[in-house]
């Protein structure tokens, strides 16, 4: 092979190698892509509180609950739904669900002190429920069971 042809062949190889290296640096590795998918699952909205109230009684309950609510530190993947159904007279039926599981339902009268007391009670009860549920999941992962204390 003449020297000029050899130099041209070497230049093509060098260019091809440089282009391959450039593609390696710019294209995502399969592991990076998989990590991106896994981390996007962590970006889900956690601890969402949905307000489906329609009267002042329901709105007051929601506002007091929202002020009182603080999720357990490691609680993830939960949604709280506060729903209201009007009743005859001046009351309202309040329903609270956690992850589509109805946990609380009570008829409320339009007295703010009663609404405030009930909302505080529900916030404390949900906190305890989530904390116990999280503990149960951790123990199940370790192959143990939560002991009930009465």
Q: Is residue 5 part of a domain?
A: no
Q: Is residue 29 part of a domain?
A: no
* Cα→Cα distances 4→8, 9, 15, 41, Å: 6, 9, 17, 57
Q: Is residue 58 part of a domain?
A: yes
Q: Is residue 3 part of a domain?
A: no
pLDDT reading at 35 higher than 90? no
- Express each pLDDT in 89-134 by its tens digit: 888 999 999 998 999 999 999 999 999 999 999 999 999 999 888 8
* Signed CA dihedral, 124, 128, 133, 138: sign only: positive
What does the DSSP 8-state code read for residue 71? -
Q: Confidence class of residue 136 from pLDDT cuts 50, 70 and 90?
A: confident
Q: Is residue 8 part of a domain?
A: no
CATH number for the domain that contains residue 57: 3.30.160
CB neighbours of residue 119 within 10 Å: 24
Q: Which of 61-70, 72-81, 100-109 is predicted least confidently?
A: 72-81
Q: Confidence class of residue 5 from pLDDT cuts 50, 70 and 90?
A: low
Please give the pLDDT value at position 80. Answer: 94
Please give the pLDDT value at position 14. Answer: 59
- Please tell me which residue, 147 or 110, carries the higher pLDDT value: 110
Please give the pLDDT value at position 39. Answer: 53
The residue segments making up the domain with residue 73 are 47-148
Q: Is residue 87 part of a domain?
A: yes
Please give the pLDDT value at position 126. Answer: 94
Q: Is residue 17 part of a domain?
A: no
Q: Is residue 77 part of a domain?
A: yes
Number of folded domains that form the chain: 1
pTM, entire model:
0.65
């Amino acid at each position: 092979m003449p020297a000029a042809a050899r130099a041209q062949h070497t230049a093509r190889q060098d260019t091809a190698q440089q282009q391959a290296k450039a593609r390696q640096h710019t294209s995502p590795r399969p592991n990076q892509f998989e990590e991106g998918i896994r981390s996007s699952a962590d970006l889900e909205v956690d601890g969402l509180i949905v307000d489906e109230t329609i009267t002042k009684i329901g709105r007051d309950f929601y506002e007091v609950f929202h002020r009182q609510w603080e999720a357990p530190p490691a609680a993830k993947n939960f949604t709280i739904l506060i729903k209201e159904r009007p009743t005859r007279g001046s009351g309202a039926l309040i329903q609270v669900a956690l992850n589509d599981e109805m946990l609380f339902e009570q008829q409320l009268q339009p007295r703010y002190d009663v609404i405030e007391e009930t909302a505080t009670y529900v916030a404390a009860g949900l906190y305890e429920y989530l904390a116990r549920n999280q503990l149960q999941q951790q123990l199940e992962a370790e192959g143990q069971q939560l002991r009930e204390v009465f």
